[in-house]
Amino acid sequence: MRRPLVMGNWKMNGSQAFNRQWAADFQWTQSPSVNVAIAPPALYIAQFAELVAQQGIWLAAQDVSEQLSAGAFTGQLQAEMLTDLGVRYAIVGHSERRQFQAESDELVANKAVAAISAGLTPVVCVGETLAEREENKTLAVIERQLAAVLDVVRDVSKLVVAYEPVWAIGTGKTASPEQAQSVHAAIRQQLGGAGESVNILYGGSVKAANAQDLFSQVDIDGALVGGAALNAGEFKQICESAAQSLG
Ligand SMILES: O=C[C@H](O)COP(=O)(O)O
């Protein structure tokens, strides 16, 4: 039985004052039927650890270093530093990092390995661009991105996978529940038997208005939410939808 997960990805947003107000507005009461997590900028993880300690919200990082040991890697965050702060998840391979930091499939896979080795759960993002979808390459792209991770991660049950079609991120264009479900089913199949226990999240313009329809699909186990997560009230509605539909 998979316990659904809704994760808010702050991206490069927030401030100490904004974060305080968000936490005051969100007021989540831990639910036995859904895991809720937020991935603020790394600079604010410690602040959030205090702000949401009583709310039963898990902390996530937006990225993690592929380096297993501490050392001379300026600007990088070691997985063990994140667990030291109580972080549970690390997003790896978000399309914005694949695009703007030129992260390769192999680097993303190594980040997943580093996360797992420190006890973090990597949230492996996969997704096709609009051009790739139009060329009917969606499943081939997802398969390639995921295969790189499966080549080096032995225990598939340690993963969370997030399907984020690049054309749906921040554009207001959500994949239809059926479009998302067909990709999620293919991901589940590629994960093999252990994939039955893996959360596969959908991301890309998830809002309170479309969350319920997405969560009604059999292989959609939650969401990775960007813009809508910055609005505490809307993010709460999405979490509540997950608890109702999936819990
Ligand atoms: O990580 C989150 C995704 O990139 C989705 O972002 P969005 O909800 O703003 O489309």
Distance CA(113)–CA(119), nearest Å, equals 10
Q: Rounded mean pLDDT of the chain? A: 95
Is 184 one of the catalytic residues? no
Domains located in the chain, CATH noted = 5-246 (3.20.20.70)
Going from the Cα of 169 to the center of ligand 1, the distance in angstroms, rounded, reads 5
Atom of ligand 1 nearest to the CA of 207: 8
In angstroms and rounded to an integer, the radius of gyration of the C-alpha atoms of the chain is 17
3-state helix/strand/coil string of 80-142 = HHHHHCCCCEEEECCHHHHHHCCCCHHHHHHHHHHHHHCCCEEEEEECCCHHHHHCCCHHHHH
Is residue 53 scored above 80 in pLDDT? no
32 pLDDT more than 90: no
pLDDT, tens digit, 9 for 90 and up, residues 177-194: 999 999 999 999 999 999
Contact by Cβ (8 Å): 212, 241:
yes
Provide the 10 A C-beta neighbour count for residue 8: 28
- Please state, as a whole number, how many other Cβ atoms lie within 10 Å of the Cβ of residue 165: 28
Instruction: Check if the interface score ipTM surpasses 0.90.
Output: yes
Catalytic: which of 66, 94, 132, 234?
A: 94
Average pLDDT over residues 53-68: 93
DSSP state at residue 75: T
Cα distance between residue 125 and residue 146, in whole Å: 9
Is 206 close to ligand 1, i.e. is its CB under 6 Å away? yes
Atom 7 (ligand 1): residue with closest C-alpha? Answer: 226
User: Who contacts 145 (Cβ-Cβ below 8 Å, separation ≥6)?
Assistant: 93, 105, 108, 126, 127
For the Cβ of 9 lying below 6 angstroms from any atom of ligand 1, the answer is: yes
CB 142 within 8 A of CB 156: no
- 148, 124 in Cβ contact below 8 A? no
Q: What is the pLDDT of residues 89-101, one digit of tens each?
A: 999 999 999 999 9
**Which ligand 1 atom sits nearest the alpha carbon of residue 171?**
10
Residue 133 alpha carbon to ligand 1 centre in Å: 18
Q: What is this structure's pTM?
A: 0.97
Specify the pLDDT at position 35: 95
Atom index in ligand 1 nearest the CA of residue 206 equals: 8
